[in-house]
C-alpha cells in the first residue's frame, strides 16, 4: 500500500516561555485572584480559595477565590441591573452597532495580550502551542461571525398578523436577560468565546463559570472586558468548584438561561436542578466519536490521519475519534499503521519543543483513564498498546501512554468516553455493519467515513446518529454550520456556532392587540 501523505503529524508544541506579564497576572501582587462581579473584583464571602496548577509539572500557577451563594446572587442582581436599568437604558437596549463596537474592542485587547492568553491555555490547560494558537484564533472568528448574525436577525416586533375582527397579533423577540455559561476545562478560550459572543450580541448579560482546573483565561478575559468598556454587570466571572459555585448558579431563579458544556452526567444533573424553577438550558456534552474506514481507503495514510484526530489535545477533545470500524480487507495494515503512529508520539511537557502528548488535566482524570484502559481489556479488547503511566524526565505531571485495542463486532469494550489518546479498532465485514455498530453508542457528537468514493461517503455520513458527520475529515468546525450533539451528547437545538445558537439566547413571545370596545 502506498503512503499517500507521510507528513501527517500530531499537533506539536513549540518551546513556549512564560511571559512575565502572565506571571504578574497569576501572582496578583501576592493576593488570590478574585471573581469579577458587577464591575468589582471580589474575594468572596466564603473566604475560600483554591489553587490552579500546571498539569505538566504540578506547579501552582495561581491561587483563586471561590465564589459562593452570596456572590452568585450579587452577580445575578448586577447583571439584571446592567441588562435593564430602572430608566429603561441598559445593555439590552444598546444599539447593535454599539454592542459590536465594544465586542470588537474586547477582541483587539485579547489580540494585544495574545501571549498572556496563550500562556493561560498552555500552562493552565496543559495544551501544546500549535493547538493553543488555533484556539486563540477562535476569539476573533466567533466575534465576527456573531456580529454579522446580530445585524441580520431582527429583535423586537415580528410581522403583524390579522387574527380576527379588530384583533392583530405579532411575535416579539427579546433576550433572556441574565444567562450563565458553565464551561469545561479542555477548551477554555474557545468555549468562553462560543458562549459570550452570541449571548452578549443578542443583548444578554452573562455569568461565566470557568472550570476549576482552568480558571485563568476567563479571569483574564474578565479584566479585558472591563478595559474594553463593557458596563459593570454585563460580564461577570465566577470561579469555583462545580458542586458549589456551579450548583448555586443552577439553583438561582434569576438566571433565565444556562449554556452548559461538559460531561453528560453533570449536564443532566444541572438540567434537573434548573428545570425546577423554569430556567432553560442548552447542553453541549461529551462524545465517543466513531470513524468508518472503507475497503477502498489507503489504510496507512488514513490510520495516520485518524491518529492525529484521536490525539488532538491528547484525546481530550469532545468530538474526536475513539472507535474505529475498518473493513477487514485492510484491517491488518490499518492496525499496524495506527499502532506505529501512537507509538511514535513524543510524550513530554506541553511547553517543550516537539511534545505531542502532554499530561492530562488532573489526578482524577488520570485515574479514570487508567481504569478505562484496564476495563477495556477486561471487557474483551485485545491490547495493541496497553497504556499505563508515562514518566517524563524532570517533570512530575499526570503523564500517560497512549492505548489502542483491537476488538470484534460482538464485543462492546468501549462504551463510554475515555478522554485520552485511546481508541478501539474493530474489523468489520462491510459499511452496513460498521454503521450499525457506530450508531449503537448513546453518544452522538462526531463521526466520519473514510473512502475514495465521495458519493458513497456522503450517503453513509448522513446516516450517522451524530451532530457532526464528516467524509475524509474529522473534528471539523465552521461558523455558519451547527456544532452540537445527538443522543446524550447534547441538545436541545442545533448546537453552537450557527444562527440557531444566536436565537437560543433569545425568547419569542406573542402579543395580541384588540381594539378597545368595552
269 binds ligand NAD (CB under 6 A): yes
Tell me the three state secondary structure of residue 499: helix
Site track for ligand NAD across 450-489, x = CB under 6 A: -----------------------------------x----
Site track for ligand NAD across 166-185, x = CB under 6 A: ----------------xxxx
**Contact indicator for 166, 186 with CB cutoff of 8 Å:** no
Q: Which stretch binds ligand NAD (CB under 6 A): 55-63, 257-265, 324-332, 458-466?
A: 257-265
Q: Output 263 or 386, the one with its CB closest to ligand NAD.
A: 263
Which whole-number Å values give the CA distances from 64 to 7, 144, 492, in the listed order? 42, 31, 33
Residues 298-337 that bind ligand NAD (CB under 6 A): 318
**Contact indicator for 139, 362 with CB cutoff of 8 Å:** no
Q: Output 66 or 352, the one with its CB closest to ligand NAD.
A: 66
Q: Which stretch binds ligand NAD (CB under 6 A): 134-142, 218-226, 240-248, 397-405?
A: 240-248
Tell me the three state secondary structure of residue 326: strand
Which residues partner with 206 through β-bridges? 179, 235
Q: Output 34 or 490, the one with its CB closest to ligand NAD.
A: 490
DSSP category for residue 395 = B
Tell me the three state secondary structure of residue 458: helix
Q: Output 135 or 284, the one with its CB closest to ligand NAD.
A: 284
User: Nine-digit cell at 288?
Assistant: 465517543
Tell me the three state secondary structure of residue 376: helix
Q: Output 143 or 285, the one with its CB closest to ligand NAD.
A: 285
Neighbouring residues of 456: CB distance < 8 A, sequence distance ≥ 6? 294, 431
DSSP 278-299: T-EEEEEE---EEEEE-TTS-H
Per-residue three-class SS string for 432-458:
HHHHHHHCCCCCCCEEEEECCCHHHHH
422 binds ligand NAD (CB under 6 A): no
CB of 285 to ligand NAD, least distance (A): 5
55 binds ligand NAD (CB under 6 A): no
Residues 102-121 that bind ligand NAD (CB under 6 A): none
262 binds ligand NAD (CB under 6 A): yes
Residues 19-38 that bind ligand NAD (CB under 6 A): none
How many angstroms separate the most distant Cα atoms in the chain?
86
**Contact indicator for 192, 208 with CB cutoff of 8 Å:** yes
CA distance 363 to 189: 23
263 binds ligand NAD (CB under 6 A): yes
Interaction site with ligand NAD (CB under 6 A) = 182-187, 209, 211-212, 242-243, 246-247, 250, 261-263, 266, 269-270, 284-287, 318, 417, 445, 485, 490
Amino acid at each position: 500500500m502506498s503512503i499517500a501523505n507521510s507528513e501527517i503529524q500530531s499537533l506539536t508544541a513549540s518551546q513556549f516561555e512564560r511571559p512575565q506579564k502572565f506571571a504578574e497576572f497569576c501572582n496578583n501582587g501576592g493576593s488570590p485572584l478574585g471573581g469579577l462581579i458587577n464591575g468589582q473584583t471580589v474575594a468572596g464571602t466564603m473566604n475560600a480559595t483554591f489553587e490552579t496548577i500546571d498539569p505538566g509539572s504540578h506547579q501552582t500557577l495561581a491561587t483563586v477565590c471561590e465564589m459562593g451563594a452570596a456572590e452568585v446572587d450579587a452577580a445575578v442582581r448586577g447583571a439584571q441591573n446592567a441588562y435593564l436599568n430602572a430608566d429603561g437604558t441598559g445593555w439590552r437596549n444598546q444599539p447593535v452597532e454599539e454592542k459590536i463596537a465594544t465586542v470588537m474592542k474586547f477582541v483587539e485587547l485579547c489580540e494585544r495580550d495574545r501571549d498572556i492568553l496563550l500562556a493561560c491555555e498552555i500552562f493552565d490547560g496543559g495544551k501544546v502551542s500549535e493547538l493553543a494558537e488555533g484556539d486563540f484564533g477562535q476569539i476573533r472568528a466567533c466575534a465576527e461571525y456573531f456580529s454579522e448574525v446580530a445585524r441580520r436577525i431582527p429583535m423586537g416586533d415580528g410581522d403583524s398578523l390579522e387574527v380576527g375582527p379588530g384583533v392583530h397579533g405579532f411575535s416579539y423577540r427579546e433576550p433572556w436577560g441574565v444567562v450563565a455559561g458553565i464551561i469545561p476545562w479542555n477548551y477554555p478560550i474557545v468555549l468562553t468565546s462560543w458562549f459570550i459572543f452570541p449571548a452578549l450580541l443578542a443583548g444578554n448579560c452573562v455569568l461565566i463559570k470557568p472550570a476549576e482546573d482552568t480558571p485563568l483565561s476567563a479571569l483574564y478575559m474578565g479584566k479585558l472586558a472591563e478595559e474594553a468598556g463593557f458596563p459593570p454587570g454585563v460580564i461577570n466571572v465566577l470561579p469555583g468548584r462545580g458542586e458549589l459555585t456551579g450548583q448555586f448558579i443552577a439553583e438561582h431563579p434569576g438566571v433565565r438561561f444556562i449554556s452548559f458544556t461538559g460531561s453528560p452526567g453533570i449536564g443532566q444533573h444541572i438540567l434537573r436542578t434548573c428545570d425546577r424553577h423554569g430556567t432553560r438550558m442548552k447542553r453541549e456534552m461529551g462524545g465517543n466519536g466513531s470513524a468508518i474506514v472503507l475497503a477502498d481507503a489507503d489504510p496507512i495514510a488514513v490510520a495516520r490521519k485518524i491518529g492525529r484526530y484521536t490525539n488532538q489535545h491528547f484525546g481530550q477533545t469532545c468530538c474526536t475519534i475513539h472507535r474505529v470500524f475498518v473493513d477487514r480487507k485492510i484491517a491488518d495494515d490499518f492496525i499496524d499503521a495506527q499502532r506505529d503512529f501512537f507509538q511514535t508520539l513524543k510524550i513530554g511537557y506541553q511547553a517543550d519543543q516537539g511534545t505531542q502528548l502532554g499530561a492530562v488535566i488532573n489526578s482524577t482524570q488520570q485515574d479514570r483513564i487508567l481504569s478505562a484502559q484496564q476495563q477495556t481489556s477486561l471487557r474483551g479488547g485485545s491490547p495493541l498498546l496497553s497504556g499505563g503511566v508515562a514518566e517524563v524526565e524532570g517533570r512530575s505531571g499526570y503523564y500517560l501512554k497512549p492505548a489502542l485495542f483491537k476488538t470484534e463486532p460482538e464485543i462492546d469494550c468501549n462504551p463510554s468516553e475515555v478522554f485520552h489518546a485511546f481508541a478501539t479498532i474493530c474489523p468489520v465485514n462491510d459499511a452496513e455493519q460498521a454503521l450499525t455498530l457506530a450508531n449503537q453508542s448513546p453518544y452522538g457528537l462526531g463521526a466520519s467515513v473514510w473512502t475514495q468514493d465521495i458519493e458513497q461517503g456522503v450517503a453513509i455520513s448522513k446516516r450517522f446518529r451524530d451532530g457532526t458527520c464528516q467524509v475524509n475529515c474529522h473534528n471539523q468546525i465552521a461558523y455558519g454550520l451547527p456544532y452540537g450533539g445527538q443522543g446524550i451528547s447534547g441538545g436541545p437545538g442545533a448546537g453552537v456556532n450557527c444562527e440557531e445558537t444566536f436565537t437560543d439566547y433569545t425568547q419569542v413571545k406573542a402579543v395580541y392587540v384588540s381594539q378597545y370596545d368595552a
